[in-house]
A and B are shown apart, each in its own frame.
Chain A
Amino acid sequence: MTHWLLVMPVFIPLLTATACAFSFRARALSSVISWSGALANLCIALLLIQQVISQGLQVTAFGDWQAPFGIVFVADLLSASMVLITAIIGVAIVLYSTTDLRSKPFYGIYHSLIHALLAGVMGSFLTGDIFNLYVFFEVMLITSFGLMVLNANKQQVDAAVKYVVLNLISTMVFLLAIGLLYGATGTLNMADLHAKVPLLPDTTMMLISGLFLFGFAIKASAFPVFSWLPASYHHLPSAIVALYAALLTKVGVYALIRVFTIVFDLVDSGYQPLLIVIAGLTMLTGVLGAASQFHIKRILSFHIISQIGYMLMGLAIYTPLAITGAIFYIIHHIIVKANLFLIGGFLQRRQGSDNLRELGGAYRSMPWLALLFLIPAFSLAGFPPLSGFWGKFLVIKASLQTDAYLLAATALFVGLMTIYSMTKIWAEAFWKPLPDNAAAPIPLTRMENCLYIVPIAALAVLTILIGLLVEPIYQLAEVSATNLLNPQPYINAVLGSDSTAYSTLTIPSAPAGGTQP
């Protein structure tokens, strides 16, 4: 049963992607395949998290080649909850895109690519091998390249150039870091690395962990290296940008959290002060960038960056409470951000533009949508009792506990600025009357409206649920954080309880512990 549950979250999207590729000419058929694939994945994700909660860590070794030599898939609480959130977003996006992209010529290929992307994301969350993480990153990357140029108009090609160039740099740095780490320790299994990395000389560790930090920081769009994100996201179709916003950067953050707890100790690696500065500046630049924008998608793209700052802040403070906050924040952010982009996409579809100057009167024509917008918007800004409040509360409390007052003040100020951006969207798109020069709204059929609203409403309900039932999710995040900071159960599960026997067994030609002349 374990073998099934761990493989299926990657297997089902890949199967669905292939099936969609075969049926890409038949729109109705590929929608049905895509729906059923996404729903099946959601069921598997629910079963997986149930299994992890009831029986603890789940491990499977591919081809029965045991760790540390073979590739393992590990589902701890963090991985399982990430897989669940990804599956939820997958269902929402697939449902939304059946109406949003239905008329586009690339509809069939889109479904194929989106499931392949989900497979890459799921694999990144589940794998326990760092080279395998690279492979799944690449699956994710190459499908996201494909999705990026589907429309292939001038703006998208230009956006794709920036996206591709900067992500390739990140990929190469990540690969180099893996190669050097392998050369220094002789292993690629994360659990095994936990035992061997502390034996490395300080300078080696600093170099390798610095490369990892740089590579993942580009993926996560952290402060000095975020420029690809606002340059490329806003010209994508709404369904695709919602998926990207929800998942891609968060996989980068997840990898940062995983690598800098289990493989490297953030404090030992010496990058903690740097990461604190990065986190603060990421928050600040993101929110200031958003304040100057006047398109819904551009505003929201910049807000991704500022929210990434909060997650990095949780990791940078590096206490159990802070990492709990970071994990809680990721869970909350994935849902809320996807929802905001979906709402923005709906407005854009109705009015033919996401420029706030050409929008207006949405409150009068669609009061329910206005309500649905307020829920994720307030949650993003951190109003109690919505989910964002708890995430912010946890990271800020952790920063106060460690006397990082400047960081806490920055986080509070950024929350305030977030309210400014959200009110801007609210006032311009919903509250003010439709400007005279704007195009008349495009009427949508009842069915189309329904398909737009169902995923938006479902995600809004989830946001409220996370806010109200905060206790179980807090516990989930807390247990995940404790397991990350004290990874002995993880290591025992992956390497077997006699893990010392493995760590003395090394490959003859690749000595461990950096004894290289």
Chain B
Amino acid sequence: MSSIIFRTSAHIVTVLMLVFSVYLLLRGHNNPGGGFIAGLIAVIAFALLMLAETPDYVRERLIYPPPAFAGSGVLIALFAGLLPLFFGQPFLSGLWLGKIGSPLLFDVGVYLAVIGSVLMILLNVEEELS
């Protein structure tokens, strides 16, 4: 993995993939996409970076540890599900303010939860096995 072409291009591709993942996240409600797939693409971006550099490099750039992402993602998703209950509607019902609604919030939660949990597994496995 020490090829210089791979290492240089990995940094660029990672950024592109992260942008693409946010795009997929936002278009998810009406078109193919959504929090889960977007999260997986973001994880692949980080995995690429991890292969080009080291797991520690990725950890440093994430600032917060992956479990924190997973935890806050779960909290956001739970909160998005809880919100309609305050308005007398069942759990997970959609609440809308124009085009933006609680499903988007839920998707963001899923996005973060997927990134956090899969990245946590991936980084730990890479460190354990190498």
Show the binding face of A for B, using Cβ within 8 Å. 3-4, 6-7, 11, 14-15, 18, 21-22, 60-64
Given contacts A21-B67, A21-B71, A22-B68, whether A14 and B92 have CB atoms under 8 Å apart is: no
Q: Known interface pairs A14-B74, A21-B71, A22-B68. Does A4 touch B85 (Cβ–Cβ under 8 Å)? A: yes
Q: Name which residue of chain B comes closest to A22, CB basis.
A: B71
> In this complex, what residue of B is CB-closest to A21?
B71
Q: Mark B77-100, 1 if CB is under 8 A from A, else 0.
A: 010011001001111111000000
Are A63's CB and B93's CB within 8 A? yes
Kindly state the separation between the CA atoms of A11 and B81 in the bound complex, as whole angstroms: 10
Task: Assess whether B40 is interfacial by the CB under 8 Å rule.
Answer: no
CA distance A63 to B93 in the complex (A): 4
Q: Which of A4, A15, A62, A63 has the most CB of B within 10 A?
A: A63
The answer to whether B91 touches A63, judged by C-beta atoms less than 8 angstroms apart, is yes
Taking CB atoms, residues of chain A closer than 8 Å to B89 are 3, 64
Known contacts A3-B85, A4-B85, A7-B85; decide if A60 and B71 are in contact (CB<8 Å): no
The chain A residue with its CB closest to the CB of B113 is: A18
CA distance A64 to B89 in the complex (A): 7
* Additional 15 contacts, C-beta under 8 A, given A62-B91, A62-B92, A64-B93: A3-B85, A3-B88, A3-B91, A6-B91, A7-B82, A11-B81, A11-B82, A14-B78, A18-B71, A18-B75, A21-B71, A22-B68, A22-B71, A63-B90, A63-B94
Q: Closest Cβ of chain A: how far from B129's Cβ, in Å?
A: 17
Among B20-57, those with CB < 8 Å from A are: none
The CA-CA distance from A3 to B75 in the complex, in Å, is: 19
Query: How far is the CB of A63 from the nearest CB of chain B, in Å?
Result: 4
* B68 to chain A: closest residue by CB: A22
Distance from B118 Cβ to chain A, minimum over Cβ atoms (Å) = 14
| Cβ contact within 8 Å between B90 and A15 | no
Q: Say yes or no: A62 contacts B90, CB within 8 Å.
A: yes
The listed residue (A14, A18, A22, A64) touching B90 by CB distance below 8 A is A64
Which chain B positions have C-beta within 8 A of A62? 90-92
Contact across chains for A60 and B68 when beta carbons are under 8 A apart? no
Instruction: Name the A residues within 8 Å of B88 (CB-CB).
Output: 3
Nearest B residue to A3 by beta-carbon distance? B90
Task: Indicate which residue in B78, B90, B93, B94 contacts A11 across the interface (CB closer than 8 Å).
Answer: B78
Q: Which residues from B are CB-within-8-Å of A22?
A: 68, 71
In the assembly, what is the distance between CA of A4 and CA of B74, in Å?
19
| Top 9 A-B pairs, shortest CB-CB distance | A63-B92, A7-B91, A64-B93, A62-B92, A3-B90, A60-B90, A18-B71, A18-B74, A64-B90
Tell me the bound Cα distance from A340 to B91 in angstroms.
38
Once bound together, how far apart are the Cα atoms of A18 and B71, in whole Å? 6
Which residues in chain B, 49-73, are within 8 Å of chain A measured between CB atoms? 67-68, 71
Residues of chain B lying within 8 A (CB to CB) of residue A7: 81-82, 85, 91
Chain B nearest CB from A2 CB (Å) reads 9
- Residue of B whose beta carbon sits closest to that of A7: B91
Residues of B within 8 A of A6 (CB): 91
Closest chain A CB from B116 CB (angstroms): 11
Minimal Cβ-Cβ distance residue in B for A10: B91
Contacts of B93 in A (CB 8 A): 63-64
With the chains together, A3 CA to B85 CA distance in Å?
Answer: 7
- A21 contacts across to B, CB distance below 8 A: 67, 71
- In the bound complex, CA of A454 to CA of B82 (Å): 34
Within the complex, the shortest CB–CB distance from B20 to chain A, in Å, comes to 28
Shortest C-beta distance, B96 to chain A (Å), equals: 13
CA distance A62 to B68 in the complex (A): 27
Bound CA–CA A64/B90 (angstroms):
6
Instruction: Return the chain B residue nearest A109 by Cβ.
Output: B67
> Chain B contacts of A11 at CB under 8 A?
78, 81-82, 91
Which residues on A sit within 8 Å (CB–CB) of B85? 3-4, 7
For B89, B90, B92, the residue with the greatest tally of chain A CB atoms inside 10 Å of its CB is B90
Q: Kindly list chain A residues whose C-beta atoms are within 8 Å of the C-beta of B92.
A: 62-63
> Shortest beta-carbon distance, B25 to chain A, in Å?
19
Residues of chain A with a CB closer than 8 A to B82's CB: 7, 11
